[in-house]
Amino acid sequence: MTYVITEACIDVLDRTCIQECPVDCIYEGARALYINPEECVDCGACEPACPSDAIYYEDDLPDALRVHQADNARFFTDVLPGRNAPLGTPMGSDRVGVVGQDTDLVQAAGPRSD
């Protein structure tokens, strides 16, 4: 099981969750953050830290947001634009830094209106 970052994070990138994560499994794209499902230890520290209420435990995801579970995983398994290989499981976002690319779902999202 894992935690999932949803659409409420797009264009917000508050990063408070990154500071709370004890295993450094939250990675930064260009418009959103992503939790690596292979690295997440299900501690839950990120969820209450998120000011946008964008993070859910996967079993608690509302049906309308379920698409983000697979999308978070694709950030690590698909070859993102401008990269020649999937990000994979680097075991820490500090090692990688800002990835600067997003999944197709996040790229296609319109700008935030709030």
Per-residue pLDDT at 25: 97
Per-residue pLDDT at 102: 96
Asked whether the CA dihedral 70, 74, 75, 77 is positive or negative, the reply is: positive
What span, in angstroms and rounded, lies between the C-alpha atoms of 100 and 40?
Answer: 21
Per-residue pLDDT at 110: 85
Q: What is each CA distance from 58 to 4, 48, 65, 66, in whole angstroms? A: 6, 15, 10, 8
Per-residue pLDDT at 105: 95
Q: Could you state, in order of their start, the residue ranges of all structural domains in the chain?
A: 3-95
- Under a CB-based contact definition with an 8 Å cutoff, are residues 87 and 27 in contact? yes
pLDDT over 70 at 114, yes or no: no
pLDDT over 70 at 16, yes or no: yes
Percent of the chain residues past pLDDT 90, beyond the cut = 92
Pick the CATH number of 3-95 from 1.10.10.10, 3.65.10.10, 3.10.180.10, 3.30.70.20: 3.30.70.20
Could you report the per-residue pLDDT of 49-93, keeping only the tens digit for each? Answer: 999 999 999 999 999 999 999 999 999 999 998 899 999 999 999
Binning pLDDT at 50, 70 and 90, where does residue 1 land? Answer: confident
Strand partners, 26: 35
